[in-house]
């Protein structure tokens, strides 16, 4: 199966009230683990790729790996630019074979964010590519750039509704209290904001900062209108911990396969648990 736009699975997710996981790809082992987990549970999913990860992996390798995953698994998989910072980066990804892009204009003024997002939507839709927009500021560390919790501002429902109406995005990330990275305590998720916006727009709300959010909060967020949930940090932690365990037990190990195999297995378990929690198992 070729890579698909997120609109391939969003209508079903909304109708059946489940969320599709965006799992970030940082290298080949991440891609394999995510695909194996999804294949075992017959789930659609989204490969998220940040600009930092793109630089690390190279755009050609990234697209080739995602296409191989889609072909091998037969699952509906979207390859999605995560937190794209400009029209140019979004177009570069689309030209290379991405089936979906995020334009993160949350650092611009509201009106400028609308104007820039609209341009991306117009170009992307003409090529059958789906678009995610962002409103409000999500706290924590995003692709190595730290946003102070105090600077993180929640999205205003009226603005979010107007943002959707004017831009025509296919899903909308709004700041509702989650943060990137692991939480010191528990997040305070504003289900009321999710519900208010979701009841007025026909596309899913996106929850960034999905790592470390307690299961019950995830379930409540999906019930309120979240249809896409981003997870990266939990996979990074599981991967690194497994590598530490192997090297900690035997400092003489030098074959990368000896520590990357357990690392990949650890990530398969993380992704499977998220797919079960998000309700997307058997929805491919």
Ligand X SMILES: O=C(O)C[C@@H](O)[C@H](O)C(=O)COP(=O)(O)O
**Would you list which residues are annotated within the binding site?**
83, 104, 134, 180-181, 208-211, 230-233
Residues within window 20-39 making contact with ligand X, judged by CB under 6 A: 24
Residue 181 sits in the site that holds ligand X (CB under 6 A): yes
Choices 51-59, 103-111, 204-212, 263-271; region in contact with Zn ion by CB under 5 A: 204-212
Closest contact distance (angstroms) between CB of 258 and Zn ion is 32
Residue 228 sits in the site that holds Zn ion (CB under 5 A): no
Q: Report the candidate in 108, 101, 110 with the shortest Cα–Cα distance to residue 128.
A: 101
Q: Copy the structure tokens of residue 276.
A: 């079960």
d(CA 183, CA 64): 34
Residue 83 sits in the site that holds ligand X (CB under 6 A): yes
Residue 280 sits in the site that holds ligand X (CB under 6 A): no
Residue 180 sits in the site that holds ligand X (CB under 6 A): yes
d(CA 181, CA 179): 6
Among 210, 225, 227, 279, binds ligand X (CB under 6 A): 210
Q: Is 149 helix (H, G, I), strand (E, B) or coil?
A: helix
Residue with Cβ nearer ligand X (8 or 234): 234
CA gyration radius for the chain? Answer: 18
Report the b/e string of 72-103 with b at 16+ CB within 10 A. ebebbbbbbbbbbbebebbbbbbeebbbbbbb
Among 232, 238, 259, 279, binds ligand X (CB under 6 A): 232
Residue with Cβ nearer ligand X (36 or 134): 134
Q: Copy the structure tokens of residue 175.
A: 């700041």
Burial of 30 (0-12, 13-18, 19+ CB in 10 A): buried
Residue 228 sits in the site that holds ligand X (CB under 6 A): no
Residue 166 sits in the site that holds ligand X (CB under 6 A): no
Residue with Cβ nearer ligand X (69 or 138): 138
Residue 101 sits in the site that holds ligand X (CB under 6 A): no
Count CB atoms within 10 A of the CB of residue 219.
Answer: 15
The entry of ligand X, Zn ion, none that residue 276 binds, CB within 5 to 8 Å by partner kind = none
Residue with Cβ nearer ligand X (145 or 253): 145
Residue with Cβ nearer Zn ion (47 or 259): 47
Closest contact distance (angstroms) between CB of 142 and Zn ion is 6
Calculate the CA dihedral of residues 142, 98, 68, 40 and round it to 10 degrees: 60
d(CA 86, CA 108): 11
What 8-state DSSP symbol labels residue 155? P
* Window 111-150: contact mask with ligand X (x via CB under 6 A): -------------------------------xx-------
Q: Report the candidate in 173, 203, 150, 269 with the shortest Cα–Cα distance to residue 11.
A: 203
User: Site size for Zn ion, by CB under 5 A?
Assistant: 1
Is position 82 annotated as part of the catalytic site? yes
Residues that bind ligand X in the complex, under the rule CB under 6 A: 24, 48, 50, 82-83, 142-143, 180-181, 208-211, 230-233
Active site members: 82
């Amino acid at each position: 199966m070729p890579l698909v736009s997120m609109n391939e699975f969003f209508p079903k997710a909304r109708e059946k009230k489940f969320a599709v996981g965006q799992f970030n790809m940082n290298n080949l082992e991440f891609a394999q683990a995510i695909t194996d987990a999804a294949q075992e549970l017959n789930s659609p999913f989204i490969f998220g790729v940040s600009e930092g990860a793109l630089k690390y992996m190279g755009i050609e390798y990234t697209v080739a790996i995602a296409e191989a995953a889609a072909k091998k698994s037969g699952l509906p998989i979207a390859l999605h630019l995560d937190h794209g910072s400009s029209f140019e980066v979004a177009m570069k990804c689309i030209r290379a074979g991405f089936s979906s892009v995020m334009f993160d204009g949350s650092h611009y003024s509201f009106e400028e964010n609308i104007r820039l997002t609209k341009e991306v939507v117009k170009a992307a839709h003409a090529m059958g590519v789906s678009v995610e927009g962002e409103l409000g500021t999500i706290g924590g560390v995003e692709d190595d750039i730290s946003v102070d919790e105090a600077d993180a501002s929640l999205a205003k429902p009226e603005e979010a509704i107007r943002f959707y109406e004017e831009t025509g995005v296919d899903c909308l990330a709004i700041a509702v209290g989650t943060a990137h990275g692991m939480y010191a305590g528990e997040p305070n998720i504003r289900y009321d904001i999710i519900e208010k916006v979701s009841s007025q727009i026909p596309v899913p709300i996106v929850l960034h900062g999905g790592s470390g959010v307690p299961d019950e909060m995830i379930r409540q967020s999906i019930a309120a209108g979240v249809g896409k949930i981003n997870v990266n940090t939990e996979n990074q932690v599981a991967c690194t911990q497994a590598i530490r365990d192997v090297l900690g037990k035997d400092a003489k190990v030098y074959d990368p396969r000896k520590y990357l195999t357990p690392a990949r297995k650890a990530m398969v378990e993380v992704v499977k648990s998220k797919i079960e929690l998000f309700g997307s198992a058997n929805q491919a």
